[in-house]
Structure 1
């Protein structure tokens, strides 16, 4: 079940079919990125690759050295772009029927935001595919944080951003154990005998994402408390913190991210979309 399999489906003949195709391609690209990131973290946990973990951009960069690397990177870029477009359409057209009240609008804005966070990764993959090099922007987060800290009440803004990120992480844990996404598994065309396995993959994946996002949010809170931009960190730094707790801890989270990648690939093949 690869991104190329999703791309090889017949061309859509209706607008809704086109939107479904965007979503499926996007799920596949997102799944491959998380699978790569989890695999690299697992290798680090087991003492491979000099213990070096990788964030999303570093994970994508590993494709560059593979046969057909530029093509793979191009597919990832296009897939992530499709995911962004799908999330924006989901928000604008209200495909999930969230409504126009405050809660509904907040959820719809959240859909768009969850897609747009992949914009820099899509651009990074596209640059690697086209020119073979790209600026990872690894210091961009710290630079932006430093600018915000210089504002009046900037430390509070950074702490609020961190608290919001922790909140998103907690929501991922809620997703994992409230059973909210179980209806998506049951409502899909996944063979009945495989639905429980897919559900468990999703649980593991949401748990791992929740842990990593919680740690990143903690970094932001500390940056605000200390008025120190260098305290912020990305997924890579979150992995380093987990590794400091022992290779088993990092390995478990790495397996969870791999599980999330697999779950996204299943979503690509058996999407549940209200369109």
Structure 2
């Protein structure tokens, strides 16, 4: 039996304290800014064919070009660190909600914590002057990682496993958006009808677009595994550009790009109404 002053109670209280919650909300804002910028860059590519980079690196390049770019970069990196800390707290003590303590939920939170911690590190490294860290092309990074995995014993199987995970994650993200699963994580009952409509439009459209991008990256990873060719692997930028080669032409790219903008806006809404 635990008492009010026991270590377990204290850890849980700290993990769900005001500072961790504030970090989570700052993280949603930081994520929203990055997706918003990536979406805008992708719209430009679809409409003009520009050579700009529609991924995290391109977004950071856009930020650093603004008058207060250096300050904004630090703010984004710190915000992503707050998101990583919040996800880590969920992994340690469970998420808010009746099913937040399930092993699968906590494991997923742990994986998300690692993802946001790495993203934060790259952004902060870029902000501190290491321009090769945060702004590296995701296309080059994907090819390099694929090449290293292919060199391992059973390399194509390793690449195929990672690619299948990305493809599955993308379909899972898109499916949950269509089913509006995000609602259960929002303070839905105290939101007004316009606020709910706003989150439904941005959450559904944005989630589907985000899922499609993940699935596209996974699809090209599977091609790389099947052909044992790291050149077939694509990051976010090349995966988005490949949409312009579909029968729908550049308009599919523009539609997905607009969806990424919507996901950025949805993240801003989560910073306000997400239960953390």
Match of 1:66 in 2: 66
Aligned counterpart in structure 2 of residue 266 of structure 1, from 262, 266, 269: 269
With normalisation by structure 2, the TM-score equals: 0.85
Aligned counterpart in structure 2 of residue 111 of structure 1, from 94, 109, 112: 109
With normalisation by structure 1, the TM-score equals: 0.86
Q: Contact 1:53–1:240 (CA<8 Å) still a contact in 2?
A: no
- Which deviates more, 242-251 or 34-43? 242-251
In 2, the alpha carbon distance for the partners of 1:116 and 1:41 equals: 26
Match of 2:183 in 1: 182
Q: Contact 2:27–2:79 (CA<8 Å) still a contact in 1?
A: yes
Change (3 A) 1:188 1:92: farther
Correspondence 1:85 to 2:88: no
Please state whether the residue corresponding to 1:181 is helix, strand or coil.
helix
Please state whether the residue corresponding to 2:275 is helix, strand or coil.
coil
In 2, the alpha carbon distance for the partners of 1:233 and 1:32 equals: 23
Match of 1:157 in 2: 158
Q: Contact 1:185–1:198 (CA<8 Å) still a contact in 2?
A: no
Please state whether the residue corresponding to 1:118 is helix, strand or coil.
helix
In 2, the alpha carbon distance for the partners of 1:186 and 1:77 equals: 27
Structure 2: which 5+ runs fail to align? 1-12
Q: Contact 1:98–1:105 (CA<8 Å) still a contact in 2?
A: no
CA RMSD of aligned residues (A): 2.1
Deviation at 1:112, TM superposition (A): 1.9
Please state whether the residue corresponding to 1:123 is helix, strand or coil.
helix
In 1, the alpha carbon distance for the partners of 2:269 and 2:62 equals: 23
- Which deviates more, 175-184 or 77-86? 175-184
In 1, the alpha carbon distance for the partners of 2:38 and 2:119 equals: 13
Structure 1: which 5+ runs fail to align? 1-12
Deviation at 1:117, TM superposition (A): 1.9
Change (3 A) 1:99 1:22: closer
Deviation at 1:232, TM superposition (A): 1.2
In 1, the alpha carbon distance for the partners of 2:219 and 2:274 equals: 33
Deviation at 1:38, TM superposition (A): 0.4
In 1, the alpha carbon distance for the partners of 2:91 and 2:189 equals: 22
